[in-house]
Amino acid sequence: LLTLRKVVLPQAIRVVTPPMTSNCVSMFKDTSLASTVALPELLKEATNAQSLYANPSPLIGAALVYLIFLWPMVRLVSLLEERFKTEKKR
């Protein structure tokens, strides 16, 4: 049990973090594609509002929402990858 916690688990986290985060970001962005089949989502609603009022502000707002949600996740993964690289060199 001690070996699992001190050796195997840190290695597993190091290996799994980048692909898992990439999948999360892709899934978040792919909700736009799923909106054609499922319930309307952020980008579809922004497009509808933009076409109704002929104003690009809803699309800009939707882009900012995506940026606000995705940027911290991408930065966190980048910091984790850097930390794992320095730990691996030791």
pLDDT in tens, 61-89: 888 888 888 888 888 888 888 887 777 66
Is pTM beyond 0.75 here? no
pLDDT in tens, 19-52: 888 888 787 777 666 655 554 677 778 888 888 8
Is 62 exposed, middle or buried (CB count within 10 Å of its CB: 0-12, 13-18, 19+)?
buried
H/E run at residue 6:
none
Instruction: Residue 70: name the closest of 49, 42, 36 by CA.
Output: 42
Domain boundaries along the sequence of the chain: 2-89
